[in-house]
């Protein structure tokens, strides 16, 4: 199969991906696009990558088009990424006497490591206060992985030993070298497919929202709309965590900056 992708096909697939995800694929990402789509073109026995792109665009709402969005979506995460946020959350819980149910949202959950990190933090520090974690992601593929809660052991190196012992089951036999999140923990974390550029009223309101390492992929009106869609799910006084490289300059939407990358809803 020819792995040559014409400029016209690249621009067409980049426009298609932008319309479905809000993420702009620049020319510098051309090699990534070719490498990811080539596997799918071979799977469908397309003669060229251009043929595969034409197939996607012929039915832009079809199953293969949705699969292409999954394939092109970058999902990179690990447990307890940007640990300062989890330290802040732990301190927040210790100083908050409230006993009402607490809800947290991992808004760009990827394969679930962030959501389970939030869950482990809540389990350790929320005391008797009931809680739940919701994770959403654009990719159906990574949402399925997150629901499974099964990870390569090396991805768990940042999990504290008490949490490893309490919540993580080491695999044996066919699952040697893997770790499964404990059923009790998985029961308190649910994952849904969701596009942050679209309203998701069914999610309800949250006390904590993690919106990290996703804004760097958006620009202009799309970034403004995404932040607005997320912030409307914050309860008054609730907290929003963003990536340390993702300041909300001009995008506050009624938020008060508490610390770098930590905001509170007014």
Residues annotated catalytic, as ranges = 36, 137
Residue 149 falls in which region: left (phi positive, over 0), alpha (psi -120 to 50) or beta: left
Segment holding 135, helix H or strand E = strand 131-137
Per the listing, tokens 């690990």 go with: 78
Residue 257 contacts residue 263 (beta carbons within 8 Å) = yes
Residue with tokens 């490498």: 35
Contacts of residue 107, defined as CB under 8 A and 6 or more positions apart, other chains included, come to 136, 196, 209, 210, 211, 214, 230
Q: Is 134 exposed, middle or buried (0-12, 13-18, 19+ CB in 10 A)?
A: buried
Q: Which of 109, 97, 70 is nearest to 196 (CA)?
A: 109
Q: Using N-to-C axis directions, what is the helix angle for 30-43 and 63-72, rounded to 10°?
A: 140
Write the secondary structure of 181-216 as one string of H (helix), E (strand) and C (coil): ECHHHHCCEEEEECCCCCCCHHHCCEEEEEECCCHH
Dihedral over Cα of 191, 146, 65, 9: its sign:
positive
In 3D space, the residue among 83, 103, 58 whose CA is nearest the CA of residue 261 turns out to be 83
């Amino acid at each position: 199969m020819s792995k040559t992708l014409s400029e016209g096909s690249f621009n067409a697939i980049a426009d298609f991906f932008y319309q479905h995800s809000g993420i702009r694929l620049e020319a510098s990402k051309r090699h990534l696009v070719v490498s990811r789509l080539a596997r799918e073109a071979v799977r469908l026995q397309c003669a060229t990558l251009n043929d595969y792109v034409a197939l996607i665009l012929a039915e832009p709402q079809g199953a293969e088009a949705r699969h292409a969005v999954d394939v092109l979506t970058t999902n990179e995460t690990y447990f307890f990424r940007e640990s300062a946020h989890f330290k802040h959350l732990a301190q927040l819980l210790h100083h908050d006497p409230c006993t009402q149910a607490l809800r947290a949202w991992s808004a760009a959950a990827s394969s679930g490591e962030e959501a389970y990190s939030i869950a482990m933090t809540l389990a350790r520090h929320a005391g008797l206060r009931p809680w739940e974690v919701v994770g959403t992601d654009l990719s159906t593929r990574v949402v399925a992985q997150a629901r499974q809660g099964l990870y390569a052991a090396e991805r768990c190196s940042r999990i504290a030993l008490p949490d490893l012992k309490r919540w993580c089951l080491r695999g044996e036999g066919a699952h040697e070298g893997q770790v499964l999140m404990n059923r009790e923990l998985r029961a308190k974390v649910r994952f849904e497919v969701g596009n942050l550029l679209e309203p998701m009223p069914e999610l309800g309101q949250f006390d904590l929202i993690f919106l990290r390492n996703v804004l760097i992929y958006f620009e202009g009106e799309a970034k403004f709309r995404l932040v607005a869609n997320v912030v409307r799910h914050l309860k008054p006084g609730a907290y929003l965590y963003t990536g340390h490289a993702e300041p909300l300059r001009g995008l506050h939407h009624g938020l008060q900056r508490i610390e770098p990358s930590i905001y509170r809803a007014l």
